[in-house]
């Protein structure tokens, strides 16, 4: 159960490092940066899609599941990357988009060519667009319906995302088998598992909201059984943007997903920081059901998408938009397209505090590339591209990302490569990079982070969060002061300060504004 103790790191290969000067990051570039990732200390990389794609949804519109887009390199490059990563004890998982393909996938081209095509059943076709009316639209800014009319064959096809991403029909046994074959292909190349994209939407049934259906779970269990049988030790990470009680079934009896993102805790961390109160966080974690022993939550602060506000109430969403996205350009769909550092006013204390919460809540943390150095965003860029800009390796104009012309504008202003870059932070012992590196080191030395029980301790203020995490005879205590004012916390006993490695006798603890404290009970 390596994934319980691992720190994950999400990478856009296109934006990470270009090895051949064409302006696009690639697999060889990423391989060159494994030493950096090893120095940071992360254990498992999640690579966003690298399959051939017309890029209408940044690669989540897959045109061929059995190849790598030539911009990123070759299958041999992937094998070399996996080998080099494994030599450094770094694992690699890839994105697997099961729910839909690109409309440029051969299956869809054949499916839409003729009603009698053997591939017709690969997708969801209908004479009417009135079916499944209880299904919400996800990309509300661009899509008016989940059905799109096909002129040639005079039927509608179903899609939960862009119209250029037709949903596969999982009622077809052929589709079910195809996707297991896809999984086999990549697992045979040596990757360590998948982040499974958009899994709640695999099946459609009239009279339901077409999410989290029993048929979906049944299929996912088949996928898991296939992995267990042939590839023990590889993992499936579930992307189900749902409330905890709806994500819970994706763990099954420990026979479905190994891991699942905890979506609802994420916006509540931002609420906590702004309100200086942990109440919403505590509520959602209390509402989170227990999961089987071989399962793990994956905790995150940001990713490549908008900071999603699907798992909050309409009032909370409005409040979050007012607080964190005052400029309408910062908003997209039901979320906020900004990166961690700008969201937190580029205030080092808030950024560290948020990361400390991420690391100390139950689950395994995932860091979004660039957030370890506090990269910025560009809200002028199309769709969610503003949080997918090139990694800033050094202070040169193209940030050491490419010797050519970058595929997209780099970040300017306060967050430009001259201000924010890896080279400078590696030289500076007090940099954000080194703080995160230290958090990772400490987490690795204590299994209670990934495996421990959670107890909320009494505090004298809603702004002070104190938790105990216990595992195998070890007790860790974490204290966070969300307030911009000093606070106190009553503790007593002998503790090891995990950051200084010094033993301290605690009684009345003074907490600086926006501070965090990691202790081990002695």
Positions marked catalytic: 197, 239
Rounded to the nearest 5°, which phi and psi values hold at 77?
-65, -40
DSSP-derived letter for residue 168 is B
Q: Does 57 bind ligand NOJ (CB under 6 A)?
A: yes
HSE of 127, CA atoms in CB hemisphere, 13 A? 0
The nearer residue to ligand NOJ, 168 or 213, going by C-beta atoms, is 168
Q: Which of residues 236-265 bind ligand NOJ (CB under 6 A)?
A: 239
Q: Does 198 bind ligand NOJ (CB under 6 A)?
A: yes
219, 188 in Cβ contact below 8 A? no
Return the residue matching tokens 């002998």. Answer: 494
User: From the CB of 381, what's the least distance to ligand NOJ, in Å?
Assistant: 15
The nearer residue to ligand NOJ, 56 or 471, going by C-beta atoms, is 56
* Segment (H or E) for 351: helix 348-360
Distance CA(408)–CA(378), nearest Å, equals 11
Return the residue matching tokens 């190849």. Answer: 67
Return the residue matching tokens 């070759």. Answer: 74
Return the residue matching tokens 């990361």. Answer: 355
The nearer residue to ligand NOJ, 305 or 372, going by C-beta atoms, is 305
Q: Interface mask (CB under 6 A) for ligand NOJ, residues 120-139, using x and -?
A: --------------------
Sign of the dihedral defined by the CA atoms of residues 217, 219, 220, 222, in that order: positive
Distance CA(513)–CA(515), nearest Å, equals 6
The nearer residue to ligand NOJ, 138 or 439, going by C-beta atoms, is 138
The nearer residue to ligand NOJ, 162 or 516, going by C-beta atoms, is 162
The nearer residue to ligand NOJ, 379 or 468, going by C-beta atoms, is 379
Where does residue 305 fall: left (phi above 0), alpha (psi -120 to 50 degrees), or beta otherwise? Answer: beta
DSSP-derived letter for residue 166 is P
User: From the CB of 195, what's the least distance to ligand NOJ, in Å?
Assistant: 9
User: From the CB of 375, what's the least distance to ligand NOJ, in Å?
Assistant: 18
User: From the CB of 436, what's the least distance to ligand NOJ, in Å?
Assistant: 23
User: From the CB of 133, what's the least distance to ligand NOJ, in Å?
Assistant: 22
Give 124's contacts (C-beta < 8 A, 6+ positions apart).
Answer: 157, 158, 166, 167, 168, 169, 204
Q: Does 197 bind ligand NOJ (CB under 6 A)?
A: yes
User: From the CB of 210, what's the least distance to ligand NOJ, in Å?
Assistant: 15
The nearer residue to ligand NOJ, 166 or 244, going by C-beta atoms, is 166
Q: Does 201 bind ligand NOJ (CB under 6 A)?
A: no
Q: Which of residues 285-324 bind ligand NOJ (CB under 6 A)?
A: 304-305
What is the arrangement of strands in the sheet containing 335-336, beginning at the earlier edge strand?
A: 307-308, 335-336, 331-332
Give 251's contacts (C-beta < 8 A, 6+ positions apart).
Answer: 257, 260, 291, 292, 295
Give 307's contacts (C-beta < 8 A, 6+ positions apart).
Answer: 266, 267, 270, 324, 335, 336, 337, 338, 343
End-to-end CA distance of the chain: 27
Distance CA(465)–CA(458), nearest Å, equals 8
User: From the CB of 57, what's the least distance to ligand NOJ, in Å?
Assistant: 5
Q: Interface mask (CB under 6 A) for ligand NOJ, residues 153-192, using x and -?
A: --------x-------------------------------
Burial class, 173, CB count within 10 angstroms (exposed 0-12 / middle 13-18 / buried 19+): exposed
Pairing type for strands 453-456 and 364-368 reads unpaired
297-313 burial, b at 16+ Cβ within 10 Å, e below that, comes to: bbbbbbbbbbbbbbbbe
Q: Does 63 bind ligand NOJ (CB under 6 A)?
A: no
- Say how many C-beta atoms besides its own lie within 10 A of residue 288's C-beta: 20
Q: Does 103 bind ligand NOJ (CB under 6 A)?
A: no
441, 471 in Cβ contact below 8 A? no
User: From the CB of 97, what's the least distance to ligand NOJ, in Å?
Assistant: 5
Packing angle between helix 432-445 and helix 348-360, nearest 10 degrees? 20
The nearer residue to ligand NOJ, 57 or 211, going by C-beta atoms, is 57
Write down how long the chain is.
522
Count of residues touching ligand NOJ (by CB under 6 A) = 9
Q: Does 97 bind ligand NOJ (CB under 6 A)?
A: yes
User: From the CB of 519, what's the least distance to ligand NOJ, in Å?
Assistant: 36
Burial class, 457, CB count within 10 angstroms (exposed 0-12 / middle 13-18 / buried 19+): middle
Give 382's contacts (C-beta < 8 A, 6+ positions apart).
Answer: none
The nearer residue to ligand NOJ, 56 or 438, going by C-beta atoms, is 56
Residue of closest CB approach to ligand NOJ: 60
The nearer residue to ligand NOJ, 198 or 354, going by C-beta atoms, is 198
User: From the CB of 298, what's the least distance to ligand NOJ, in Å?
Assistant: 13
Distance CA(109)–CA(241), nearest Å, equals 30
Applying CB under 6 A, which residues contact ligand NOJ? 57, 60, 97, 161, 197-198, 239, 304-305
């Amino acid at each position: 159960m390596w994934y319980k103790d691992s720190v994950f790191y999400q990478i856009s290969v296109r934006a990470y490092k270009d090895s051949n000067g064409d302006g696009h990051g690639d697999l060889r570039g990423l391989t060159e940066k494994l030493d950096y990732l090893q120095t940071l200390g992360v254990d498992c990389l999640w690579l966003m899609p690298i399959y051939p794609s017309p890029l209408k949804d940044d690669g989540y519109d897959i045109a061929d599941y059995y190849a790598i887009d030539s911009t990123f390199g070759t299958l041999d490059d992937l094998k070399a990357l996996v080998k080099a990563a494994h030599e450094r004890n770094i694992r690699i998982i890839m994105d697997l988009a099961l729910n839909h393909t690109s409309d440029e996938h051969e299956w869809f081209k054949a499916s839409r060519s003729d009603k009698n095509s053997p591939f017709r059943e690969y997708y969801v076709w209908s004479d009417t667009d009135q079916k499944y009316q209880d299904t919400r639209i996800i990309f509300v800014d661009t899509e008016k319906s989940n059905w799109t009319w096909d002129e040639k064959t005079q039927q509608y096809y179903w899609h939960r995302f862009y119209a250029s991403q037709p949903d596969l029909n999982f009622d077809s046994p052929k589709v079910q088998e195809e996707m297991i074959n896809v999984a086999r292909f990549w697992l045979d190349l040596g990757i360590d598992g998948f982040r499974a994209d958009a899994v709640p939407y695999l099946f459609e049934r009239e009279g339901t909201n077409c999410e989290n259906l029993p048929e979906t779970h049944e299929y996912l269990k088949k996928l898991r059984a296939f992995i267990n049988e042939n590839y023990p030790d590889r993992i499936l990470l579930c992307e189900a943007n749902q409330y905890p009680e709806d994500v819970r079934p994706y763990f099954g009896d420990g026979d479905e997903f190994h891991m699942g993102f905890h979506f609802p805790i994420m916006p509540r961390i931002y609420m906590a920081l702004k309100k200086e109160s942990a109440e919403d966080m505590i509520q959602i974690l209390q509402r989170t059901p227990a999961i089987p022993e071989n399962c793990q939550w994956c905790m995150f602060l940001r990713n490549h998408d908008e900071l999603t506000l699907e798992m909050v109430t309409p009032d909370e969403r409005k409040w979050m938009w007012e607080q964190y996205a005052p400029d309408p350009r910062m908003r997209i769909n039901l979320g906020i397209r900004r990166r961690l550092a700008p969201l937190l006013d580029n205030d080092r204390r808030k950024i560290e505090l948020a990361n400390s919460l991420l690391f100390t809540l139950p689950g395994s943390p995932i860091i979004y590339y660039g957030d370890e150095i506090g990269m910025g965003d560009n809200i002028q860029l199309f769709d969610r591209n503003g949080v997918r800009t090139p990694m800033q390796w050094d202070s040169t104009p193209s940030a050491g990302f490419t010797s050519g012309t970058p595929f997209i504008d780099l970040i300017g202003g306060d967050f430009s490569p001259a201000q924010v870059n890896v080279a400078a932070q590696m030289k500076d012992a007090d940099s954000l990079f080194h703080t995160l590196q230290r958090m990772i080191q400490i987490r690795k030395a204590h299994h209670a982070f990934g495996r421990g029980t959670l107890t909320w301790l009494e505090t004298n203020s809603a702004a002070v969060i104190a938790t105990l995490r216990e595992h195998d005879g070890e007790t860790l205590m974490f204290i966070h002061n969300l307030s911009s004012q000093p606070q106190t916390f009553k503790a007593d006993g002998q503790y090891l300060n995990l950051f200084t490695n010094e033993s301290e006798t605690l009684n009345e603890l003074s907490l600086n504004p926006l501070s965090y404290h990691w202790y081990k009970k002695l």
